[in-house]
A and B are shown apart, each in its own frame.
Chain A
Amino acid sequence: MTEPEIVELVNKVFENAFEIEKEKIKPEAHIFMDLGLDSLDIVDLVVELQKGFKIEITDNEKLREIRTLQDIYDFVSTTRAEMGK
């Protein structure tokens, strides 16, 4: 999976599972301040990312550092690489 494909799939998660308007979905968008997610929504985000990318997310430390959509793209990319995908 290429970087643009990861970006597209993550964006789709935000569009479909969170019904966030396309215009708001930008790499620099802050998921808490700009998109209105809270710590509990992260649970749903993790479920959707696991489903979409067929990965297992267990690293809570890295998850806690996520602030922007770009952080999520990087997080997914790293997790996939660690899983040898």
Chain B
Amino acid sequence: MALCCAVTVLAENNWHMKKLKLIYLNTTFYLLFFLASALIIPTLSVILVTARIFISERLFYRYFRRAIRFYGQVVVRLPYPLVKVRYEDMSNVDKSVPHIYVCNHNSMSDPFLMSVFPYEMVQVVNVWPFSIPIIGYYARLGKYLDVNNMPFEKFLADAKTLLDEGVSIAFFPEGTRIDGAEMGSFHSGAFRLFLETKAPIVPVCIYGNKKIPPKGSMWLHPGTIIVRSLPPVTWEEYQDSTAYVVKSNVRKRIGEEIATMSEGQ
């Protein structure tokens, strides 16, 4: 009887501890998030707008995207140590040339995780990131691409221009976040761009953030996120294939790697 009571008390304590941890994580994260945003965004904006007077448009965008990366680095570190993020670069890519990054899409945190990549990069995002106050405005200013609200030909032309300028492009080809363990089907825009521009594709596997935060919620849960870049897919391998074949193979590679990552946890 005494043992039974002790187990019940322990279980209740455990439940309370988890709840407290969750409240602590979210309170501190969102507090720091708003503080950091209120400090970083206006400061960098003033610096960049002033600098624009003296520097070329191209250089302005390079610094602007570097500022986005800096902001992303800060945001990704805010929930530490309850949320840890590990980047594993297995791609061995030539950083001096632009790439097309293709990632699975788990959570609202994915665009932040991708913004940390040490390259000049824009993201192809769905409608919702553009609707986030301030951040959405800056994403648009940084020439992030809203594939849903532009004709595909215009999207292709803009993406080609960015690659020509040496800017890498990150895609979430699932388009939307999927509930459950399965990856959604991929849209073929990234792969059509790959076949037309010959820019290599780097598959990126994001694992561990399905609940950071979960779909339809803003609550972050503690955990470890791994962002693993895989060796690139080159145009030479697929020059005679359709975009569908490229997307199926890239999706398969990401799926297999995520399965390996989940076994390792």
Q: Please determine whether B248 and A36 come into contact, CB atoms closer than 8 angstroms.
A: yes
The yes or no answer to A28 lying at the interface (CB within 8 A) is: no
Binary per-residue interface labels of chain A (42-76) against chain B in the complex, 1 for a CB within 8 Å, 0 otherwise: 00100010000000000000000000000000000
Determine whether the beta carbon of A18 is less than 8 Å from that of B188.
no
Distance in angstroms between the alpha carbons of A8 and B248 in the assembled complex: 23
Of the stretches B25-33, B56-64, B136-144, B238-246, the one at the interface is: B238-246
Inter-chain contact A40/B245, CB cutoff 8 Å: no
Q: How far is the CA of A36 from the CA of B246 in the complex (A)?
A: 13
- The answer to whether A40 and B242 have CB atoms under 8 Å apart is no
Q: Is the pair A44, B185 in contact by a Cβ cutoff of 8 Å?
A: no
Cβ contact within 8 Å between A38 and B188 = yes
B187 at the interface (CB under 8 A from A): yes
- From the candidates B152, B189, B244, name the one contacting A44 in the complex (CB within 8 A): B244
Task: Let me know if B186 is at the binding interface, CB within 8 A.
Answer: yes
Closest 3 CB pairs of A and B: A44-B242, A36-B185, A40-B188
- CB proximity of B244 to chain A, nearest CB, Å: 5
Interface size class of B (residues with CB under 8 A): 10 to 19
Residues of B at under 8 Å CB distance from A?
Answer: 152, 185-189, 192, 241-245, 248
CA distance A41 to B186 in the complex (A): 11
Contacts of A17 in B (CB 8 A): 242, 244-245
Which of under 10, 10 to 19, 20 to 34, or 35 or more describes the interface residues of A? 10 to 19
For residue A44, which residue of chain B has the nearest CB? B242
**Distance, CA A44 to CA B247, complexed state (A):** 13
CB of B231, distance to nearest CB on chain A (Å): 21
Sample of 13 more A-B contacts, CB < 8 Å, known A19-B248, A36-B186: A17-B242, A17-B245, A18-B244, A18-B245, A18-B248, A19-B245, A40-B152, A40-B187, A40-B189, A41-B188, A41-B244, A44-B243, A48-B242
Q: Give A18 to B248 CA distance when docked, in angstroms.
A: 9
* Across-interface contacts of A48 in B (CB, < 8 A): 242
* 9 CB-based A-B contacts, threshold 8 Å: A19-B244, A36-B185, A36-B244, A36-B248, A38-B185, A40-B188, A41-B242, A41-B244, A44-B243
Complexed CA–CA distance, A39 and B187 (Å): 9
Q: List, in ascending order, chain B residues with CB within 8 A of A40's CB.
A: 152, 187-189, 192, 243
Query: Which residue of the partner chain A has the closest CB to B188?
Result: A40
Chain A neighbourhood of B152, CB < 8 A: 40
